[in-house]
Amino acid sequence: MAEFTMELNDEQKEVRDWLHGFAADVIRPAAAEWDEREETPWPVIQEAAKVGIYSLDFYAQQYFDATGLGIPMAMEELFWGDAGIALSIVGTGLAAVGVLANGTEEQIGTWIPQMYGDANDVKVAAFCSSEPDAGSDVASMRTRAVYDEARDEWVINGTKTWATNGGIANVHVVVAVVDPELGSKGHASFIIPPNTPGLSQGQKFKKHGIRASHTAEVVLEDVRVPGSCLLGGKERLDERLARARERAKAGGERVKNAAMATFEASRPAVGAMAVGTARAAYEVALDYAKTREQFGRPIIDNQGVAFQLADMRTSIDAARLLVWRASWMAVNGKPFTAAEGSMSKLFASETAKKVTAQAVQILGGNGYTREYPVERMHRDAAIYTIFEGTSEIQRLVIARTLSGMPIR
């Protein structure tokens, strides 16, 4: 276990500075353009692939950093650059983690490289779980996967929504119901290989923020995939389903397990994205407050402005510490007895929303225009309290974990 320290080590600082350079020189200058275009910023992804930021190697290095801080640090810097472009760069990672977490070694080796492509021909991947009637309530998912034993194929039907990179991905990871009796325990994940007949993009959403990131419906009509596309394989699925049936017979899951370890480990990464956006807006506001003069003096001379900046910075630092704690706990296998991962995502996302709104206020009329980046950052920040579990769902998970009660 790594010794406790509040400082990044030299290698981490080097990576952080390198990422910051890319965010400042490549991402930030492109942000306004891709926000207006509302299109995937392929040239920026390509640039990230050329320098090695858009690659499985880079992601894996950060993921396996023994201190746990590799991923949060990378997320914070990239999202400091711009949230929409950064999500286009890291969105593939969300699908890749789905395969890393549940796939066999062969599946990992076959599919993850195809998710990224290479620097001359970059590809993206999508993770499709949410449905029109199954957002927070994942258990009401309807997309169905049925096993055709004679052909050793799975047949998948349903409609996914809100999929980041949905329809433009080379590889889609789709969660589907394999046993409707078991609620969320009866779900399994499937790889949908490139150009599989029956998968198509539905509507592409026009969004409030993170507009450079592609979000769309994914329609699955009699999509047939080979048995080898079931993540983890049939044997492991059958064992898992048998255990779930036994538990269901014995009276179901205990509420004690409300803080599901996988989500607790992945949510801090979203918290770190929020910290990046909040920090970016705070920095713009601080600079502005020091240079903008009214009543013959910089506006920061007023406590009303200076104290807001003090509060903004305090909240951002507190959010980062919660994110780092949860990330450290995840990598060291600590039990999330107070849903610390959800806590970090809740606090960081609410902080980003608040801080970006304060930044708009400090810039006055300029803050309300697209001449200055805080307007975009404020729109972008609104996503953090919604995806990967809304703030209400984080509170539900925390409250259930703390109390052991089935709070609704």
Ligand X SMILES: Cc1cc2nc3c(=O)[nH]c(=O)nc-3n(C[C@H](O)[C@H](O)[C@H](O)COP(=O)(O)OP(=O)(O)OC[C@H]3O[C@@H](n4cnc5c(N)ncnc54)[C@H](O)[C@@H]3O)c2cc1C
75 binds ligand X (CB under 6 A): no
386 lies in the binding site for ligand X (CB under 6 A): yes
Type of residue numbered 378: H
| Residue 352 within binding range of ligand X, rule CB under 6 A | no
Give CA–CA dist 399/124, Å, rounded. 36
Does residue 136 touch ligand X according to CB under 6 A?
yes
Find the helix or strand (DSSP H, E) in which 190 lies: strand 187-192
C-alpha span between 15 and 9 (Å, rounded) = 10
In the complex with ligand X, the residue whose CB is nearer, 147 or 205, is: 205
102 contacts ligand X (rule: CB under 6 A): no
With CB under 6 A, what is the number of residues at the site for ligand X? 20
Pick between residue 128 and residue 330 the one whose CB is nearest to ligand X: 128
In the complex with ligand X, the residue whose CB is nearer, 309 or 396, is: 396
Taking the complex as a whole, the smallest distance from the CB of residue 47 to ligand X amounts, in Å, to 23
Sole binder of ligand X in the list 97, 115, 274, 393 (CB under 6 A): 393
Helices 340-362 and 303-331, axial angle in degrees (round to 10): 160
**How far, in Å, CA of 246 to CA of 321, rounded?**
40
Q: Does 140 bind ligand X (CB under 6 A)?
A: no
Tell me whether residue 80 or residue 127 sits nearer to ligand X (CB atom). Answer: 127
Query: CB of 334: closest distance to ligand X in angstroms?
Result: 26
- Contact region with ligand X (CB under 6 A), list: 14-22, 116-124, 311-319, 380-388: 380-388
Contacts 24+ apart (CB under 8 A), 18-21: 19/53, 19/73, 19/74, 19/77, 19/78, 20/77, 20/80
Smallest separation, CB 388 to ligand X (Å): 6
Q: Which is nearer to ligand X, 135 or 232 (CB)?
A: 135
**Helix (H) and strand (E) counts for the chain?**
14, 11
Nearest to ligand X of 14, 392 (CB atom): 392
Residues in contact with 329: Cβ distance below 8 Å, sequence separation at least 6, in sequence order: 68, 264, 336, 340, 341
For position 184 contacting ligand X by CB under 6 A, the verdict is no
Determine contact, residues 299/366, Cβ cutoff 8 Å.
no
Q: Kindly state the smallest distance separating residue 257's Cβ from ligand X, in Å.
A: 17
For 206-329, list the strands marked E by DSSP. 215-226, 293-294, 297-298
What count of other Cβ atoms lies within 10 Å of the Cβ of residue 230?
A: 24
244's CB contacts (< 8 A; 6+ apart) are 179, 182, 185, 186
The catalytically annotated residue of 47, 264, 340, 388 is: 388
Site membership for ligand X, residue 390 (CB under 6 A): yes
Quick one: which of 107, 130, 308, 401 contacts ligand X (CB under 6 A)?
130
> For ligand X, which is the closer residue by CB, 262 or 369?
262
In contact, 399 and 347? CB cutoff 8 Å: no
- Told to judge if 388 belongs to the known catalytic residues of this protein, a careful annotator would answer yes
For residue 176, what are the β-bridge partners?
Answer: 188
The interface region with ligand X, picked from 19-27, 36-44, 123-131, 299-307 by CB under 6 A, is: 123-131
The answer to whether 86 contacts ligand X (rule: CB under 6 A) is no
Sole binder of ligand X in the list 19, 259, 339, 396 (CB under 6 A)? 396
387 is a site residue for ligand X (CB under 6 A): yes
Residue nearest to ligand X (CB): 135
Does position 128 interact with ligand X (CB under 6 A)? The reply is yes
DSSP state at residue 204: E
Report the nearest approach of ligand X to the CB of residue 128 (Å). Answer: 5
**Lookup result for tokens 């034993």:** 149
162 binds ligand X, rule: CB under 6 A? yes
d(CA 326, CA 340): 6
Site for ligand X contains 163 (CB under 6 A): yes
Distance of CA 81 to the CA centre of its chain: 16
Could you tell me the sign of the dihedral formed by the alpha carbons of 245, 247, 250, 251, in that order?
negative
Which region, judged by CB under 6 A, interacts with ligand X, from 121-129, 189-197, 253-261, 275-283? 121-129
Least distance (Å) between residue 306 CB and ligand X: 34
For ligand X, the binding residues (CB under 6 A) are: 127-130, 135-136, 162-164, 207, 210, 215, 383, 386-388, 390, 392-393, 396
List, by residue number, the catalytic residues: 388
